[in-house]
Amino acid sequence: MIRKFRVQSLEFRVLVFILSLFTIYYSLFTEVQAKIYIDINAPSFRRIPIAVTEFKNLGTAPDREGHSQKMTEVIKNNLNFTGFFELLNPASFIEDPNRAGIAEESIDFKDWAAIGAEALIKGGIIFDGQRITVEARLFDVFQGRMITGKRYTGDVKDFRKIAHNFSNEIVKSFTGEEGIFETSIALISNSIGAKEIYVMDYDGYNIRRMTNSGSLNLSPNWSPDGSKIAFSSVRGRSWWLYTIDLKTKEEKRLTLQRGLNISPSFSPNGDKLAFAYSKEGNSDIYIMEGNNMRRITNHVAIDISPSWSPDGKNIAFVSDRGGSPQIYIMDSNGEGVRRITFEGNYNVSPSWSPRGDRIVFASRRGGKFEICTINPDGSDLQQLTYEGNNENPSWSPDGRYIVFSSRRDGGTGIYSMRANGENQRLITSKGVTAINPAWSPRTRE
């Protein structure tokens, strides 16, 4: 077989030579793309100064609804959210936007170096009826070349999605890991009277109702593939566990006994569901696998709120077996129960980081509820919130951010923050009462 490919002519040899040159060039180029500019795990890292220019209309049809500006704003908001970047003020930009293009050769990188920019975002849109073509590029100002570029075609109404996708590319270029801008957050809101489940984009946009039960629904928990949400719901004067398929909105009641079936939690590979069940006033943790239900705690105290470690070997949960609600960890078969919180008399709602290194929970401190994180061995407790009353924390799939509900500024809404407590911001609309946020896994279509 190999013999067939023996070099036979001079031309062919030259072609092979040129090809290998390009291969070398190409692998160097991709290495640049994959180079990690920011070590976000370093104790302190420097924010990258980045300039985001407004996307240009590259076509002949007008931009009637200001999508160029909107798209730029979405990208800026995403980059701001990460905490990795310092967004430069457009007032400081030297470049004449009417003259400069979005291609490497039409950019004078000195104009950007002069204002301290190390990275530059440029983009263009062509409008064609309800369709758009978007060209988005990230440049390295020092090296004067493109780091990554993408071309998208889609419906105008998908402009946020396109901006989120490109933002993910930007974060990937700098950190080696994709961003979380295309993820969603489930929550509970009583906007229409009953407490129903809603899903919104990670930044609070595009909120849509999932359940229509006219009842009480709580504790949404995503399946690891992002296709469904488990939750607890009161139906017929009893609490049951349901799953809802997010595409079809079809609800399925899990086969359970009447009583209090609450706080479902999918195992990392999705084949098991841990939850709390109480029949006679004593809730314990159970694991359901297929049609099998196994009790894994057996204590007269309250055992509730299981959360799996990302390797599936351990489960964090809440128990008041020590006289007050505290966070405990056990092996996923129920053995080896050990308490990890000892500060304060009310620690609840544990959620294990997808990175495995921290557990986030809500803690009552000085009469108020605050979000804290702790190592799974009980060391290095950190308080992240200091304002309002904060509950029900949930990790982003990359373990870098936390969403939680907070009653502050006269309302109760969903807030997000970095895993170190920085950059706290309200993501639901003002005036919308929302609780119980659950961050989705990364999903791919």
Partner 1 sequence: MMIRKGLFLSAVVVVMSIFLFSSCAEKEVKPEAKPEAVAPKEKMKDELLAKVEETPKLQDIHFDFDKYNIREDAKATLMKNAEWLKKNPGVKIQVEGHCDERGANDYNLALGDKRAKSTRDYLSSLGIDGGRISTISFGEERPQDPGHNEAAWAKNRRAHFVILK
Considering only residues 297-356, where is the footprint of partner 1 by CB under 8 A? 302, 304-305, 318, 324-325, 346, 348-349
* Residue closer to partner 1 (CB basis): 93 or 127: 127
Pairing type for strands 216-222 and 228-234 reads: antiparallel
Question: Backbone phi, then psi, for 12, in 5-degree steps?
Answer: -65, -40
Report the nearest approach of partner 1 to the CB of residue 49 (Å). 24
> Quick check: 375 binds partner 1 (CB under 8 A)?
no
* Residue closer to partner 1 (CB basis): 80 or 278: 278
- Which of 106, 143, 153, 255 binds partner 1 (CB under 8 A)? It is 153
Comparing CA positions, the residue from 148, 54, 137 lying closest to residue 93 is 54
DSSP of 169-188: HHHHHHHSS--STT-EEEEE
Gyration radius (Cα) of the chain, Å:
26
Report the nearest approach of partner 1 to the CB of residue 162 (Å). 6
Q: Alpha-carbon distance 389 to 412, whole Å?
A: 9
- Which of 20, 26, 289, 343 binds partner 1 (CB under 8 A)? It is 26
Report the nearest approach of partner 1 to the CB of residue 91 (Å). 30
Report the nearest approach of partner 1 to the CB of residue 112 (Å). 20
Q: Give Cβ neighbours of residue 151 (< 8 Å, ≥ 6 apart).
A: 133, 134, 135, 136
* DSSP, res 403: E
Report the nearest approach of partner 1 to the CB of residue 344 (Å). 12
Report the nearest approach of partner 1 to the CB of residue 65 (Å). 17
> Quick check: 278 binds partner 1 (CB under 8 A)?
yes
* Residue closer to partner 1 (CB basis): 12 or 39: 12
- Which of 57, 77, 80, 148 binds partner 1 (CB under 8 A)? It is 148
Q: Alpha-carbon distance 186 to 207, whole Å?
A: 9
Could you tell me which stretch among 10-18, 88-96, 105-113, 328-336 binds partner 1 (CB under 8 A)?
Answer: 10-18
> Quick check: 392 binds partner 1 (CB under 8 A)?
yes
Among positions 415-434, residues that touch partner 1 (CB under 8 A) are 432
Give the Cβ contact number of residue 56 at 10 Å: 19
Tell me the three state secondary structure of residue 415.
Answer: strand
Residue type, 171: V
